[in-house]
Amino acid sequence: MRHVALAALLLLLQAGRAAPDDVLRIYLARHGQTEWNAAGRMQGQSDIPLDDTGRRQARELAERLAGVPLDAIYSSALLRSRQTAAALQGRAPIVALAGLNEQALGAFEGLSQDERDRAKRAEFERRHARPDDALDGGESPDQHLARVKAALEQIRRQHPRGSVLIVGHGGTNLKILRILLGLDPERASVIQQGNDEVYVVEVYAAAKPTLWKLIPPDHLDQL
């Protein structure tokens, strides 16, 4: 079962259950698929739109969260995140925050993850493990973490309780979970959120956060 290292409870969360008064419930979604996702290319901050599958996934996200009360919806400023969030237009105010953008990968944006770019991929893996390496014009992991942390703090100041949806990116959402759950980089590295997966983090004022995974009815075999 995935995410055992996070001690995450995997279950179907009842839609429409309001958050308790002392809890901020963060629904954490990844944007829908793009052509670069499908091709296995690293996007970073390259502004790639959703493909047909991604647009369907955005609609399914809206359907999956039907009946869930939301106080706000936050996306990154990148098109693939904004397009996904737009599928929930009218449900709550939508705010685009550049602080939620994916990590800028500099010289490695557009890199294929298959055998064609094996040598450069190995260089990326080596350099991305260094917290202060800005990847030749991109951002270092530490810079990305600090930016995401500032955006998350802004959201939590605006919403100390209630429910919000964040439509982020694979790397950005990993950083959000790392911050909220107090994970070190090694433990956080096991997180691999799909384009159609939703996590729910319940953040308490005086207790440890709880991580849930929202499982649609056609994936109940994950329970």
Query: How would DSSP label each residue in 42-88?
Result: --TT--PPB-HHHHHHHHHHHHHTTT---SEEEE-SSHHHHHHHHTT
Burial class (CB in 10 A: 0-12, 13-18, 19+), 46: middle
Task: Record the tokens describing residue 8, joined without a space.
Answer: 């995450």
For residue 215, report the phi and psi dihedrals to the nearest 5 degrees.
-110, 120
- Domain range for 191: 4-222
Confirm whether 159 is a catalytic residue. no
Confirm whether 31 is a catalytic residue. yes
Alpha carbons 210 and 1: distance in angstroms, whole number: 18
User: Which of 56, 21, 24, 53 is closest to 37 using CA atoms?
Assistant: 53
As for how many domains the chain has, the answer is: 1
Q: Break the chain down into helix, strand, coil percent, rounded to 5.
A: 40, 20, 40
What would the mean pLDDT of 69-78 be, rounded to a whole number?
97
Contact 1, 222 (CB under 8 A): yes
For 134-153, how does the pLDDT look when each residue is reduced to its tens digit (9 = 90+)?
999 999 999 999 999 999 99
Task: Report the C-alpha dihedral over residues 40, 43, 44, 45, rounded to 10 degrees.
Answer: -170
Among the listed residues 31, 139, 169, 197, the single catalytic one is 31
Distance in angstroms between the alpha carbons of the first and the last residue of the chain: 9
pLDDT at 144: 98
Among the listed residues 102, 109, 139, 197, the single catalytic one is 102
| Cβ neighbours for 96, distance < 8 A, ≥ 6 positions apart | 74, 75, 76, 77, 81, 82, 85
pLDDT at 35: 97
Assess whether pLDDT exceeds 50 at residue 7: no
Indicate which CATH number applies to the domain containing 75: 3.40.50.1240
Q: 213 falls in which pLDDT band (50, 70, 90)?
A: confident
User: Which of 62, 74, 90 is closest to 158 using CA atoms?
Assistant: 74
Q: 219 falls in which pLDDT band (50, 70, 90)?
A: low
Tell me the percentage of the chain whose pLDDT exceeds 70: 87
Alpha carbons 104 and 97: distance in angstroms, whole number: 15
Alpha carbons 119 and 113: distance in angstroms, whole number: 10
| Cβ neighbours for 182, distance < 8 A, ≥ 6 positions apart | none
Specify the residue for token string 């429910």: 163
For 169-186, how does the pLDDT look when each residue is reduced to its tens digit (9 = 90+)?
999 999 999 999 999 988
CA 159, 163, 167 angle in degrees (round to 5)?
Answer: 95
The model's pTM: 0.89
pLDDT at 15: 39
Q: 20 falls in which pLDDT band (50, 70, 90)?
A: low
